[in-house]
Homo-oligomer: A and B are copies of this chain.
Amino acid sequence: MNFCSHCGSPALELRIPDGDTLPRQVCSACGTVHYQNPKVVVGCLPVWNDQVLLCKRAIEPRRGLWTLPAGFLENGETILAGAERETAEEAGTWVVLGPLYTVISLPHINQIYVMFRARLVDLDFGPGEESLEVRLFDESDIPWSDLAFRTITRTLRNYFLDRKLGEFPVHVSALDRRAPLKPELLGAG
Contact = CB atoms under 8 A, between A and B. Distances in A.
A37 B75 contact: yes
A105 B5 CA distance: 27
A114 B172 CA distance: 11
Interface in A115-137: 129
3 closest residue pairs by CB, A with B: A78-B105, A3-B8, A5-B5
B170 A73 contact: no
Interface string A166-189: 000010101000000000000000
Contacts of A22: 74
Contacts of A75: 36-38, 107, 110
The complex is assembled from copies of this chain, and their number is 2
A1 interface: yes
Interface in A6-25: 6-8, 10, 19, 21-22
Give chain A's interface residue range (CB within 8 Å of chain B). 35 or more
Interface string A87-121: 00100000000011001010110101010000000
Contact of A4 (B3, B76, B105): B3
Given A3-B8, A5-B1, A89-B21, A79 B100 contact: no
21 contacts: A2-B5, A3-B3, A3-B4, A3-B6, A3-B8, A8-B8, A21-B89, A36-B75, A37-B39, A37-B72, A38-B40, A38-B73, A38-B74, A40-B40, A75-B110, A77-B107, A80-B105, A81-B107, A99-B172, A100-B103, A103-B114
A78 B110 CA distance: 9
Contacts of A2: 5-8
A1 B8 CA distance: 9
Contacts of A110: 75-76
